Amino acid sequence: MIAFKTAYDIATAHQEIERAEKLLKDTQDALDRRAQPDIRDAFGRHQAGLQLGIPSGENSTRLYQVEWSLCIPVLTAHIGQMRAKLAALNEVARVELLQGTEGAE
């Protein structure tokens, strides 16, 4: 049987890839039209760029208005990293399944 943490991490990786791919597509489409992407925050306010940061703790910090042109390589790298993580997690799940099968015999 696959461990709960492994299944959760696989689902989270899939969700992160989907979100990043959508944001990448929206950003690329807008830049191809030579327009600024229409990305809004939770309150409906237009955002001039992405935010990068460490969200909490004593050392929390945030960069605002990261240029859209920088977003494409960052998102592309993030998607690649998450796909690599997903591949490793799939291998962990495969091993967990095999171990569960061996114990049942």
Closest to 50 measured CA to CA, from 68, 29, 69: 68
Q: Identify each DSSP E strand in 45-104 by its residue range.
A: 50-54, 61-66
What sign results for the dihedral spanned by CA atoms 62, 74, 30, 43? negative
In terms of phi and psi (left: phi > 0; alpha: psi -120 to 50; beta: otherwise), the region of 65 is left
When pLDDT is averaged across residues 45-66 and rounded to a whole number, the result is 80
When pLDDT is averaged across residues 20-30 and rounded to a whole number, the result is 89
With bands split at pLDDT 50, 70 and 90, how would you rate the model's confidence at 34?
A: confident
Cross-strand partners of 66: 50
What pLDDT shows up at residue 103? Answer: 52
Q: Percent of the chain having pLDDT more than 90? A: 47
